[in-house]
Amino acid sequence: MNFPVPQFATDLIRRWWDGVCDAVDQFLAIYTPADGEAPLRIPRSEARSVNAALDMFEAVIRRILVVMCAELGPTPAPGPLAPLLFCIEEAPSAPVIRQPREVDPDYCLKAPPERALHTDSPSDGLVSSARLLKRLAALAHVFDNGQLYLDAMCARLCAHLKPLRAELPAPFTAASLPESQAADLRNIHQVSLSAQAYNSS
């Protein structure tokens, strides 16, 4: 069955989808090195701030994909899918023993390990932006290949264990968030859980 998305959520999702897309483009414009150059080195505090923004963006995009796909109705993938750069789920579809990336074709479909800021501590106080660039590239891949991710998430919703966790993601509760943004994120989370549960009944 198709999930009936409330009108307020449709407007909210469109605004956040476009907003995250614009923010990713802006970050890429800032941090993408010139051809042949190494990734930029940036202050650790700046890297921590961008990482926090990306934590929020990733959680938002997963929830938006769930709502969009639930509106279409869960369907099996139309055929073999191209590799995904962005991990579309927070909970794995089945208990797994993670294998090395190079021998596991479903690596990008599985929940990522706990992430920590790179521990290098150079004397200049700077860290490489390479990890940020990988996360930004994965998000950009979603926006550049929307149908691929819709197909993958529609198929993922057919699984017994669903892709989203029930608890509110930590980035949605950050004390630094303006109340209007925090309210938006709570609403997106609740609608996505309703959409996920709707296709489980």
Q: Which amino acid is at 53?
A: A
CA proximity to 136, closest of 21, 30, 28 = 28
Extents of the domains making up the chain = 7-198
- Which phi-psi region, left, alpha or beta, contains residue 120 (left: φ > 0; alpha: ψ -120 to 50)? beta
CA proximity to 137, closest of 183, 87, 64 = 87
Helix axes 179-198, 7-31, angle to 10 degrees: 120
Read off the pLDDT of residues 75-111 as tens digits, 9 standing for 90 and up. 777 777 889 999 999 865 555 444 555 555 555 555 5
Model pTM above 0.85: no
**Average pLDDT for residues 26-40, to the nearest whole number?**
94
